Structure 1
Amino acid sequence: MIIWLASYPKSGNTLLRSLLSSYFYSSDGSFTFKNLEKISQFPLTSHLMSIGVNIDNEEDVFKNFINAQNLINQDKGKIKFFKTHSSLSQTYESNFTDLRNTLGTIYIVRDPRNVVTSFAHHYSMSIDQATDVMIDKNRFMDKTPKNCRVFLGSWSFNYNSWKNLQKHNKYLLIKYEDLISKKKNVLLKIFKYLDFLGLKTNLDIIKLNKAIKTTQFEDMKKKEENEVFYEALIDTNTGKRKNFFNLGPKNDWRKLLDKKNLDKIEKNFEKEMIELGYL
């Protein structure tokens, strides 16, 4: 069964994956990029190719997401984490996932006023462009050689779509800001949820503390300077790989976001931002 680590892009998914991969896939809780890769993204092109889908046929790709998950879940009794930026929605009359394949979801959300500046840096966009992408209700994430195209939706649509799993007890909401300021408390909440799902974590607090210590932003930023982190994109202007770990805690919309885009974001996402305590 799959536990989804779902989010809108640039909302803290990598930090969550780093913490969980350090705990579950290392002997002592130490973070490595190699272990981070063990929580991969869905859907990869390889997921669809493994069941014979032509990845150049977009409709067939969307219609076979659940078939690909069925194959992943043939390993009975094994729980797997997967990152996704897809919304929980229907495209080409086909659902992204279903209750049979989904054990649970941890959805991580971040203040959209800080998402937009991080999004702009990561995808080499202006703030104006990134704002327009975030409010685009019909937005897809582009296909890459490694990843299939998925329906993203707007920031608010993506957030609201996964809440539909609440009524099935398959949803835990985590705020990025809490993961930064109250990391241990949030992780204990996550581990309690994983135990509820049947993962039987047998919490090792020493190992958890090591995972927290080795995933501090500055440490991960230094690690990226000395190793290749393949999730960092290539800058189309320079041809060089950009820093994935860019501003971290210094990413403050109060200092970086102009009034025009600030107003646009707060107007479009007012309901959700009030609900989340961002306004």
Structure 2
Amino acid sequence: MGALIWLASYPKSGNTWMRSFLHNLFRNEHKPVSINEIDDFCLSGSVVHWYRGYISTPLQEITEEETARYRMQVQRDFTTVFPDSVFVKTHNYLGDHQGVPLHNMDVTAGAIYIVRNPLDVVLSMMPHFGISLEEAIESLANEAAGTMRTATHVPEHYGSWSTNVRTWTRQPSPGLFVVRYEDMLDKPRKTFKQVTKFLGLNPSQERIERAIKFSSFKTLKTQEEKTGFKERPGISKSFFREGKRDQWRAKLTPDQVRRIIADHHEQMARFGYIPEDYKDAVPAEKAVSNVDG
């Protein structure tokens, strides 16, 4: 039995990339691990079949109340899947929903949280969720944002981008490692080495670089083109879009940039996401959200 390590992020922030890196690192094979085997390594906290032993009604009819009632026990069940640490993907904010925690801290050993510039996140949200840019900007600031129940998944509760980031990162802890998507791009060797150190691992540099190569955007996109990716939403043409940073400069209007900064300036400032040429977009009186999740 192993304790849980959450791989957490707001959607479209690099969670799948991190999962792929770790999967390739642990498997240590001489070819990339299939992206469609990623759930063999990292569980998804929202998959509905985990509730099968607790609910007699058809799983596609599970209610929000039933999900909340059994969530803590379901997550305790995760610890029995592997004898060592169990990695679990989540896009939920860190807090309670309907009076029940979204993450069972009693069986948690730690978490890796990936944060990405919201100016780029909105561009990735559009094709992934099949929404317009304006809808993506609105969703980014929506405290009730999340997913609906489906036949295969229970709802996820993202909160706004700011709430998601704040609730996971506001209290530094030895059990929490926060990594920026942009550092994964710009400084992959240093950044992923820090990830392995946080996990108490000491792999060779060669092994780390092979895992970086096998989980690169180019490799993941090529795999998706050849075999498909079962996590791709049906509404989206592809899961892996471009994997770049700062695309917002060519694709967002100044008004859209200012709106996102106005909505999220507090957390954006913490992670260095407010551009120098938009410093004046930060409200003179910094409003503090009263939503803690």
Q: Over residues 23-68 of structure 1, what are the superposed CA-to-partner deviations in whole Å (9 max), with x where a residue is unaligned?
A: 1134347332144222131121011223337542211102221110
Q: Structure 1 stretches of 5 or more lacking a match? A: 196-200, 236-240
Match of 1:121 among 122, 127, 136: 127
Letter of the structure 2 residue corresponding to residue 183 of structure 1? P
Q: Over residues 164-208 of structure 1, what are the superposed CA-to-partner deviations in whole Å (9 max), with x where a residue is unaligned?
A: 5634x321100000001111111111111101xxxxx34133222
Query: Structure 1 CA distance, aligned partners of 2:128 and 2:120?
Result: 13
The aligned counterpart of 1:182 is 187
Q: Over residues 210-268 of structure 1, what are the superposed CA-to-partner deviations in whole Å (9 max), with x where a residue is unaligned?
A: 11112222232222111111111112xxxxx6111112227600011123321211001
The aligned counterpart of 1:262 is 257
Match of 1:172 among 177, 187, 190: 177
> Percent of aligned positions with the same letter in both sequences?
27
1:209 paired with 2:204, answer no
Question: 1:28-47 to 2 correspondence within 5 Å?
Answer: 28=30, 30-38=32-40, 39-47=42-50
Query: Structure 1 CA distance, aligned partners of 2:82 and 2:218?
Result: 39
Preserved contact between residue 70 and residue 101 of structure 1 (Cα < 8 Å): yes
Letter of the structure 2 residue corresponding to residue 71 of structure 1? D
The aligned counterpart of 2:162 is 156
In structure 1, the residue corresponding to 2:123 is in which secondary structure?
A: helix
Query: Structure 1 CA distance, aligned partners of 2:83 and 2:202?
Result: 17
1:275 paired with 2:270, answer yes
1:252 paired with 2:247, answer yes
Question: 1:43-192 to 2 correspondence within 5 Å?
Answer: 43-52=46-55, 54=57, 55=59, 56-74=62-80, 77-163=83-169, 166-167=172-173, 169-192=174-197
Q: Over residues 124-149 of structure 1, what are the superposed CA-to-partner deviations in whole Å (9 max), with x where a residue is unaligned?
A: 10000011011001222222222210
Cα displacement (A) at 1:123: 0.6
Query: Structure 2 CA distance, aligned partners of 1:20 and 1:71?
Result: 22
Q: Structure 2 stretches of 5 or more lacking a match? A: 275-293
Query: Structure 2 CA distance, aligned partners of 1:141 and 1:16?
Result: 22
Letter of the structure 1 residue corresponding to residue 35 of structure 2? F
In structure 2, the residue corresponding to 1:67 is in which secondary structure?
A: helix
Query: Structure 2 CA distance, aligned partners of 1:250 and 1:97?
Result: 30
Cα displacement (A) at 1:77: 4.8
Question: Residues 170, 261 of structure 1: CA spacing in aligned structure 2 closer, same or farther, 3 A cutoff?
Answer: same
Give the TM-score of the pair, scaled to structure 2: 0.85
1:19 paired with 2:24, answer no
Query: Structure 2 CA distance, aligned partners of 1:219 and 1:209?
Result: 14
Deviates more, 1:55-64 or 1:241-250: 241-250
Preserved contact between residue 142 and residue 150 of structure 1 (Cα < 8 Å): yes
Preserved contact between residue 36 and residue 229 of structure 2 (Cα < 8 Å): no
Query: Structure 1 CA distance, aligned partners of 2:227 and 2:37?
Result: 14
Question: Residues 250, 225 of structure 1: CA spacing in aligned structure 2 closer, same or farther, 3 A cutoff?
Answer: farther
1:229 paired with 2:235, answer no
RMSD: 1.9
In structure 1, the residue corresponding to 2:224 is in which secondary structure?
A: helix
Segments ≥4 residues shifted beyond 4 Å: none
Deviates more, 1:51-60 or 1:112-121: 51-60
Query: Structure 1 CA distance, aligned partners of 2:124 and 2:209?
Result: 27
